[in-house]
């Protein structure tokens, strides 16, 4: 006698969350659609907090919304050139997010993006909940930056950078600063810095506090996810499930305490 297969339970979700996770809009954007009575569910005007499933007929301004779930774990790694816009195209350059496949979503969220003048590794996803989890996780992970400064740092400057002191009370956790073999580029020097809980803006400030003239900050690795030579500037690749899990599962470093300026950033 053949074994019966159990049918997976269909879980209902709030309409705002359901559409946001599929990259169709932010939760706030969906709420605005609902308040404006632009959304209907099975022929009836949608209500705030209403729960839906994939079996429901959801329409915006009378047009069916394709709510096929984009892979919840779709995360893309960009190698962004300094100055390349992530979201909005300029007269000179097209936005990087426009290169992503339409099937991955319509609205992408950058996780702890680098300042526009800098570049390197950028993580983006159309899943709002996943983006929030990655945002929290990235501050627990060792992140490697390369920093181009004018001239060679003196011993006091090196010690100041390693102290992790910023303009706010919180300090960064600096794991290492490779100053002994700093690469030269004319009058400039490149330094490799591994730290935790830092944004690209923090890294600039960390060096500038020591009187350094910083011309470029590049993020080259986030946890175990690195920019490899096969990923050219302006290109992207999709992270594997294993890479995503490694980012999300990273524990807080032993004995490390987050300063008040790091919480919730």
For residue 97, the SS3 value is helix
Cβ atoms < 10 Å from Cβ of 112: 19
Three-state secondary-structure class, residue 263:
coil
CB atoms within 10 A of CB 189: 18
CATH architecture of 75-135: 2-Layer Sandwich (3.30)
Residues of the chain with CATH 3.30.70: 75-135
Q: Which of 257, 208, 216, 251 is nearest to 80 (CA)?
A: 216
Q: How many C-beta atoms lie closer than 10 Å to residue 5's C-beta?
A: 6
Query: What pLDDT is stored for residue 107 in this prediction?
Result: 79
SS3 110: strand
* Domain 13-64 is found in CATH 3.30.230.70: no
**Does the domain formed by 138-248 have CATH 3.30.2350.10?**
yes
pLDDT in tens, 67-126: 554 445 589 999 999 988 887 777 677 788 888 877 777 778 899 999 989 999 999 998
Read off the tokens for 152.
Answer: 């060679």
Share the mean pLDDT of the chain. Answer: 82
Residue 17, φ and ψ in degrees, nearest 5? -70, -40
256-262 long-range contacts, CB within 8 A, separation 24+: 256/173, 256/196, 258/139, 258/170, 258/197, 259/168, 259/169, 259/170, 259/171, 260/169, 260/170, 261/166, 261/168, 261/169, 261/170, 262/139, 262/170, 262/197
Question: Which segments of the chain belong to CATH 3.10.290.10?
Answer: 13-64
pTM exceeds 0.85 for this model: no
The first and second tokens of residue 111, run together, are: 């996780």
pLDDT tens-place string over residues 123-168:
999 888 888 889 988 888 999 999 999 988 999 999 999 999 998 8
Q: Are 165 and 209 in contact (CB under 8 A)?
A: yes
- Interval 25-44 mean pLDDT: 87
Whose CA is closest to 30, among 11, 44, 12, 49?
49
Alpha helices, DSSP H only, in the chain? 15-20, 27-35, 128-138, 155-163, 200-208, 241-248
72 alpha carbon, distance to own chain's centre: 15
Q: Where in the chain is the domain with CATH 3.30.2350.10?
A: 138-248
Query: What pLDDT is recorded for position 204?
Result: 95
Question: Inter-axis angle of helices 128-138 and 241-248, to 10 degrees?
Answer: 50
Least confident of 183-187, 195-199, 232-236: 183-187
């Amino acid at each position: 006698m053949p074994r019966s297969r159990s049918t997976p339970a269909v879980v209902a979700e709030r309409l705002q969350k359901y559409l946001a996770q599929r990259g169709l809009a932010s939760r706030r954007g969906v709420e605005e659609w609902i308040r404006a009575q632009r959304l209907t569910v099975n022929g009836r005007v949608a209500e705030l907090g209403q729960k839906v499933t994939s079996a429901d007929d959801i329409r915006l301004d009378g047009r069916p919304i394709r709510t096929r779930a984009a892979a919840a774990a779709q995360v893309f790694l960009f190698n962004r050139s300094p100055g390349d816009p992530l979201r909005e195209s300029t007269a000179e350059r097209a936005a990087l997010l426009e290169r992503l496949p339409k099937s991955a979503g319509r609205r992408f969220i950058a996780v702890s993006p680098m300042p526009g003048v800098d570049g390197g590794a950028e993580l983006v996803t159309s899943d709002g909940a996943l983006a929030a989890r990655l945002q929290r996780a990235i501050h627990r992970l060792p992140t490697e930056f390369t920093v181009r400064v004018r001239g060679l740092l003196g011993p006091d400057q090196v010690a100041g950078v390693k102290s992790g002191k910023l303009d706010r009370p919180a300090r960064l956790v600096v794991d290492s600063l490779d100053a002994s073999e700093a690469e030269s580029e004319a009058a400039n020097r490149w330094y490799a810095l591994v730290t935790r809980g830092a944004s690209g803006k923090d890294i600039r400030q960390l060096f500038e506090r020591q009187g350094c003239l910083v011309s470029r900050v590049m993020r080259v690795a986030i946890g175990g996810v690195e920019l490899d030579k096969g990923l050219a500037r302006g290109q992207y690749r999709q992270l594997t499930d294993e890479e995503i899990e490694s980012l999300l599962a990273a524990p807080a470093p032993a004995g490390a305490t987050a300063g008040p300026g790091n919480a919730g950033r």
